[in-house]
């Protein structure tokens, strides 16, 4: 790993800001009901208000986080983008855990903006990035697939080169076999609940139905 190279989280943050700037504040996203302005406000609150950001996973705090998000959404568009570009403030734990906590966040939300218009192309990543994205995607996928009534192999399609190749298996050991085949970026988007993805699910029909029925994402 090149120590001078910006992290995946840093690069995706910058790329998302530029994509949002080009799209404008009222562009659609893959986050249901949210425009780019709504998404930008969410990102600002997530990093600047750690006291409320737990509302992403804790229902008891969700209303407080939404209140703050709506307040942030009233800021001028350029100001929102500047806040995202600047990163988490000094007092936020996310400032010191950026590489670990934000790679998936900014990659997924960047694609939320890129793919919302209905026409999108896949981006090229080097092997180091693909390894990182695959590890993140399989980790998320395994959290919701572990109790599904299927034995699921997560595989990359031919032509994808990873340092650590091979399928990742999860789910019920004696259940019907299912293969989920996807490039790393497609898998992480699918794992986070997105449908504008290129993912192939094959195998026993009962297992396919079980995989498709399980809630994805957070």
Contact 5, 93 (CB under 8 A): no
Mean pLDDT across the chain: 90
Q: What is the pLDDT of residue 49?
A: 81
Q: What is the pLDDT of residue 171?
A: 79
Q: What is the pLDDT of residue 41?
A: 95
Cβ-based neighbours of 22, under 8 Å, separated by 6 or more: none
Q: What is the pLDDT of residue 59?
A: 58
Q: What is the pLDDT of residue 26?
A: 97
d(CA 89, CA 191): 29
Contact 164, 131 (CB under 8 A): yes
- pLDDT of 63 over the 50 cut: yes
60 or 217: which leads in pLDDT: 217
| Cut 0.75: pTM above it | yes
Binned at pLDDT 50, 70 and 90, residue 55 comes out as very low
Q: What is the pLDDT of residue 42?
A: 93
pLDDT, tens only, 169-201: 887 777 889 999 999 999 999 999 999 999 999
d(CA 202, CA 68): 42
Structural Rg of the chain based on CA atoms: 18
pLDDT above 70 coverage of the chain, percent: 92
pLDDT, tens only, 87-144: 988 988 888 888 898 999 999 999 999 999 878 899 999 999 999 999 999 999 999 9
- pLDDT of 58 over the 60 cut: no
């Amino acid at each position: 790993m090149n120590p001078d190279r910006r992290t995946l989280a840093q690069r995706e943050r910058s790329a998302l800001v530029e994509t949002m700037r080009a799209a404008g504040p009222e562009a659609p996203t893959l986050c249901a009901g949210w425009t780019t302005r709504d998404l930008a406000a969410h990102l600002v609150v997530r990093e600047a208000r750690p006291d409320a950001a737990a509302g992403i996973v804790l229902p008891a705090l969700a209303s407080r986080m939404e209140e703050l998000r709506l307040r942030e959404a009233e800021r001028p568009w350029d100001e929102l983008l500047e806040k995202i570009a600047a990163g988490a403030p000094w007092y936020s734990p996310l400032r010191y855990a950026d590489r670990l906590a934000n790679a998936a966040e900014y990659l997924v939300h960047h694609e939320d903006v890129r793919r919302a218009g209905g026409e999108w192309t896949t981006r090229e990543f080097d092997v180091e990035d693909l390894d990182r994205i695959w590890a993140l995607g399989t980790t998320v996928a395994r959290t919701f697939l572990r109790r599904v009534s299927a034995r699921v192999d997560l595989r990359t399609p031919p032509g994808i080169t990873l340092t650590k190749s091979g399928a990742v298996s999860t789910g019920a050991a004696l259940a019907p076999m299912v293969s989920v085949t996807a490039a790393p970026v497609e898998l992480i988007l699918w794992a986070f609940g997105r449908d504008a993805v290129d993912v192939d699910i094959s195998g026993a029909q009962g297992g396919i139905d079980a995989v498709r029925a399980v809630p994805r994402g957070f």
